[in-house]
Structure 1
Amino acid sequence: MIYPDIVLPRLRYQYCPMCRSELSKQVINDDQIERVCCPQCKWVHFPSNAIGVVILITAGNGIVAILPPKAPLEYPAALPAGHGEYGESPEEAAIREAYEETGFQVEITDLLGWQFNKNLAYPGPMINFFYEAKAIGGSIRDSEEGRVKVFALDNFPAIAPQRGGSRKTMELYLQKINSLNGLMSDE
């Protein structure tokens, strides 16, 4: 069985997980999409896209940053982020990741945007959701992701180019703030 490169190796089934028959590719629906399926028991492999979340947390008069231990000095910061667990909504994932990585209990205040990335090596194609949240409880604590610190917006450290989700979330947040400031100056 030949899989496209985009399919992660762990998802490249050769044999049916139900009856152990050799799998084949067939068009089985009117959509004309070739799918991996079992000719014996009719099991069909429907791999799904991964879900990721990035959270910009406001706490007091600042924004919560994670300072990863191996981050380059010129790009020391990241925002809390992670993968959605099986059966977890993106909002639930954002709330959980925020707590796990910062110690803050949060309330989602805005969906700043989303983005589909088809060509990620790991975990494969991913839909990222970019959230704004406010701290409503808990207390700041470091995590395995790094030290956690709150910075004023105008003093927020640089985010590394490879941290695309953190950069995109900050960009969307700044667009929102600038848009709101523009509306207030028009009044």
Structure 2
Amino acid sequence: MIELYSANTPNGLKVPIALEELDVEYRLIKVNLSQGEQKRPSFLALNPNGRIPVLVDLDGPGAQPLNLAESGAILLYLAQKHGALLPQDPVEYQRAMEYLFLQVASVGPMFGQAGWFLRSAPEPVPLAIERYRNESLRLTALLDERLAEVPWLAGSSYSIADIMHFSWLRIADYAGVDLNQFPHVRAWIDRISARPAVQRALARLQN
């Protein structure tokens, strides 16, 4: 059995999508971020970094419970454990890893910072807004070029790389990115949004 501590945020959406795609039973435990539940001792005992998502696999390696944080690490763990959402082709597998880490290192942080400075900063900081929004635009253009050539980020196979990026790109306007400028990314978002597993994950987080 899997317990998932998460919330309706871009990072919080990734793991429910993967679990729904893998058809794995899980218990969703919603964390109220606005009330600071992620900073309470009970949550910090699961993830000292105080961030969602956190996965608790009661049947982890060696049949022992495993607590795991960081969405990229969780998705890679689930894909490897269940033998799905990773390409069989060795080159596409490496492309999936490449784009997985691009999201972790670049897309997530840049979109998050751009959105915060645009929408949540106590006062405008034009230099920060310009820096992070421009980098978000550059990264979206990079993905658009890739998706002009292949249907999925790894190539011919839908994978955890797509799930990782989707959760941020679907709300690209948060970072000041107009997807009308990036038709291949927009079409890719539409393809993922139409997947039943994605729709189920969104419904569970929103209810």
TM > 0.5: no
Q: Which is richer in strand?
A: 1
Q: Which is richer in helix?
A: 2
TM-score after normalising by structure 1: 0.25
